[in-house]
A = this chain, B = another copy of it.
Amino acid sequence: MAVYTEVTDEACEAFLRLYDIGQLIAFRGIAEGVENSNYALKTTQGDFILTLYEQRVDPAELPWFLGLMEHLAAHGLTCPLPVRGRDGANLNPLAGRIAAITTFLPGVWPRRVVVAHCAPLGAALAKLHLAGAGFAPTRPNALGPAGWPPLLEKCLARADEIQPGLGAELSEALTTILAAWPANLPAGHIHADLFPDNVFFLNGKISGLIDFYFAATDLLAYDVAVCLNAWCFERDFSFNITKSQALLRAYENIRPLTPDEKAALPILAQGAAIRFLLTRLYDWLNTREGALVTPKNPVDYVRRLRFHRQAASESAYGI
């Protein structure tokens, strides 16, 4: 949880004058999100979210992210809609950062995932993939397979600090994953980070998807594999096949997976596990004392990786 950049009341009021969304009533820093600073903003016209983009986000990529969100919203997906200013711009400077105002989405993200969350999640993911189809600009996935070897390289010398033998295990796993990585599966725009804290529910239904700042153009089934990792493991790292089955069936009701996509699920899931394992490992080894955000333990993903490595086929996921 973090607000990295403080916004003064005067700066917020001046910023708001660039937009036609009423007068400032309140703004409060939100203690969620680990990449950017977010404020809950209330004006005489309603609730909004004010986001200041911090160092991990390349300003040159912001128009792509916001363009994707506008496209998805225009095509029926409930996601934050960037608000355009009086001059048409949806990005403006604030407190030394680039900032955007987006619409407020109702709902609460599930702290404890149960089976009932997984079918709505699968359906929402498929809708996202279909809705993204008409958005022409592309963004290479910096945290896709090509990004994993250099990340591992940076962590290898100290990986065994986390767990003895971890360096060798990851090197071997990554070699296997990259050698088997599927080349010709359907591609499109993926969320790439659709964890429970990015999915709002209201009365048992999904009320919105948020945080598109890892979105990229990559294999659609890889996005499914990210969700299998993020939604289908229990706290003891056991895999809940009832959850994955619900997720995949609901996904396929809207966008059926091709036979090749299905066959690739174990390797895609290994890739997704190693992707989060590597960034968490890097953050774990490189977080300075006194940091605002507590890094997540990478070991959780070692357990996930091992599960996927022993998965013989897509049947391990209930389909």
Contacts and interface: CB of A to CB of B under 8 A. Distances in A.
A30 B27 contact: no
Given A31-B1, A112-B10, A106 B26 contact: yes
25 contacts: A1-B2, A3-B31, A9-B109, A10-B111, A10-B112, A12-B108, A23-B203, A24-B108, A25-B106, A25-B107, A26-B104, A26-B105, A26-B106, A26-B108, A27-B108, A28-B30, A28-B40, A29-B30, A29-B31, A29-B32, A30-B30, A30-B31, A42-B47, A290-B290, A290-B294
Contacts of A109: 9
Nearest to A27: B108
A287 to B, nearest CB: 10
A61 interface: no
Contact of A9 (B106, B110, B289): B110
Contact of A8 (B3, B29, B111, B201): B111
Q: Which size class do A's interface residues fall under?
A: 35 or more
A161 interface: no
A6 interface: yes
A202 interface: yes
Interface of A: 1-3, 6-10, 12, 23-32, 40, 42, 47, 104-112, 200-203, 289-290, 294
Nearest to A25: B106
B111 A6 contact: yes
A40 B27 CA distance: 11
A42 to B, nearest CB: 7
Given A3-B31, A290-B294, 13 more contacts: A1-B2, A1-B3, A1-B29, A2-B31, A9-B201, A24-B108, A26-B106, A28-B30, A28-B32, A29-B30, A30-B30, A30-B40, A42-B106
Contacts of A106: 25-26, 42
Contacts of A110: 9
